[in-house]
Structure 1
Amino acid sequence: MTERSDPSQYDDVNETVAAEWEAETTPYERVRTVIARTYTPVSAETVGDRARTSAKTARKHLQALVTEGFVVTEPAEYGATHYRRSPESVVLEQAADILAETSRSELKTRVTEMRRRLGKFRDTYGVESPEELAVVQTNDELAGHESRENIDDETIGEWRQTRQNLAFANAALAIANAQEFVGGKHADENRSLS
């Protein structure tokens, strides 16, 4: 028979881990970590609570992150400001991850495959995107016409995910190409043209 652990010994595990995080990091690092995973607008108070710092300190660091382009602001009720991760920083992070894990030739192959898959979706459903298909199907229903082939949620999810993956892969290729011209084999050609 195995001995059971006393559940009360784990009651403060989260608090212990959070206290260690607070002791081992600066408020700036904690604010950046919190906002790096924040894709919907939140207040500086919310970020401060999650980052275990004051709202004033969180706001100061959030403003620095806005200046860096890592965070964007949005107006909220009563003149307040909300913060969220900037879409550009998400794209750059995803592209960097892709480039770290995938060779350019493999990435080009994957891009070709994704484009082919998206072409099949377009050919099958006669529209450019799942969003356009939803509009067409709704309009058909409202007009009393026979709707096009119904599409299941899994297929819609796959279509959307493929479009998103292609966007990130294209961004990664664009960055790789730009890096090649800035510091790679084409850098000398660029310098001689200026």
Structure 2
Amino acid sequence: MTDEPPSPDGPDEFPTEEELPDDPVTVDDIDPFTVDDGDFEDIDDFAGAEWKNETTADERIRTVINRTTIPKSAGDIANTALVSETKARTTLNKLAEDGLVRSYQTDSGKLYGRDPEWHLLKQIRQLAGSETLVDQIQRVKQELAEYRDTYDAPDPEELLISDRELTQDELDDVSHWRTAKRELSHLRAAYRLKEAKEQAATVTEPGDRQTGTQTPTRAGNQHLLQ
């Protein structure tokens, strides 16, 4: 007899009271996943094997280098990306030629790190595509205004060079204040990029007249760049 697939609406028949187990079922009795993890000593090995199975070597190298803020050797990157050192070095050199990675020659050998300019432009492009870009700008501007009001200072540097002795909590605020200023500059750059793309979209072939009109919201949101 061929087993039929279970109905998406549930079973047609349910067990009777006599068919139910005498003892209640506990969580320990339920095994929702059938995973053969006997070949792995710990969860890191298992996760690494799954990552390697679901991605290509180039994808893993790109993922690792995109998260590398401090330049590392090809061997270190290879270990993290689960590839051979030769493969890592070949891919990294190609990415360096494409301008996505920077290489640094040191006494101990060549090191690789993500190109900071390319990474920044990537972040700005992603922000420019966000539907909540204006809301994010408003949120950060409000955060900065609260810092200025709290410490009666125009920026965190002014607070640092003042005669005021800062507590650890206040020093933490200075760090967050700086991060918020940097975030706002990135958000504003993304907003300018978004505006430029929208304006470019109103132009047809070279030499043709511009079509469409400037939206009122564009002019109304100029205060976001101030």
The question of whether the paired residues in 2 share the 8 Å contact of 1:111 and 1:170 is answered with no
TM-aligned CA deviation for residue 17 of structure 1: 2.3
The question of whether the paired residues in 1 share the 8 Å contact of 2:95 and 2:101 is answered with yes
The answer as to 2:179 corresponding to 1:150 is no
Q: Return the alpha-carbon distance in structure 2 between the equivalents of residues 110 and 27 of structure 1.
A: 39
Q: Report the counterpart of residue 19 of structure 1 in structure 2.
A: 49
What is the count of residue pairs matched by the alignment?
175
Structure 1's 12 and 114: CA in aligned 2 closer, same or farther, altered over 3 A?
closer
Q: Report the counterpart of residue 190 of structure 2 in structure 1.
A: 172
Q: Return the alpha-carbon distance in structure 2 between the equivalents of residues 19 and 61 of structure 1.
A: 21
Q: Percent identity?
A: 26
Q: Return the alpha-carbon distance in structure 2 between the equivalents of residues 38 and 50 of structure 1.
A: 11
Pick from 95, 103, 123 the counterpart of residue 65 of structure 1: 95
Q: Which runs of 5+ in 2 are unaligned?
A: 1-25, 30-36, 210-226
Q: Which runs of 5+ in 1 are unaligned?
A: 138-146
Q: Return the alpha-carbon distance in structure 1 between the equivalents of residues 133 and 172 of structure 2.
A: 30
| 4+ aligned runs moved over 6 Å, structure 1 | none
Q: For residue 101 of structure 1, give the secondary structure of its aligned residue in structure 2.
A: coil
Letter in 1 for 2:42: D
Q: For residue 112 of structure 2, give the secondary structure of its aligned residue in structure 1.
A: strand
**TM-score, structure 1 length as denominator?**
0.70
Show CA shifts across 1:160-184 (max 9, x none): 12112112202211321232244x1
Q: Which has the higher contact order (CA 8 A, sep 6+)?
A: 1
- Pair member with larger Rg: 2
Q: For residue 102 of structure 2, give the secondary structure of its aligned residue in structure 1.
A: strand
The question of whether the paired residues in 1 share the 8 Å contact of 2:129 and 2:194 is answered with no
Letter in 1 for 2:52: E
Q: Return the alpha-carbon distance in structure 2 between the equivalents of residues 188 and 181 of structure 1.
A: 11
Letter in 2 for 1:20: E
**TM-score, structure 2 length as denominator?**
0.62
Q: Comparing both structures, which one devotes a greater share of its residues to helix?
A: 1
Q: For residue 68 of structure 2, give the secondary structure of its aligned residue in structure 1.
A: coil
The answer as to 2:54 corresponding to 1:38 is no
The answer as to 2:153 corresponding to 1:125 is yes
Q: Return the alpha-carbon distance in structure 2 between the equivalents of residues 125 and 172 of structure 1.
A: 27
Q: Return the alpha-carbon distance in structure 1 between the equivalents of residues 143 and 192 of structure 2.
A: 16
Structure 1's 113 and 68: CA in aligned 2 closer, same or farther, altered over 3 A?
farther
Structure 1's 119 and 181: CA in aligned 2 closer, same or farther, altered over 3 A?
farther
Q: Report the counterpart of residue 89 of structure 1 in structure 2.
A: 118
The question of whether the paired residues in 2 share the 8 Å contact of 1:114 and 1:166 is answered with no
Q: Return the alpha-carbon distance in structure 1 between the equivalents of residues 132 and 53 of structure 2.
A: 39
Structure 1's 55 and 165: CA in aligned 2 closer, same or farther, altered over 3 A?
same
The question of whether the paired residues in 1 share the 8 Å contact of 2:102 and 2:115 is answered with yes
TM-aligned CA deviation for residue 66 of structure 1: 1.8
TM-aligned CA deviation for residue 38 of structure 1: 0.8
Q: Return the alpha-carbon distance in structure 2 between the equivalents of residues 105 and 189 of structure 1.
A: 30
Structure 1's 62 and 97: CA in aligned 2 closer, same or farther, altered over 3 A?
same
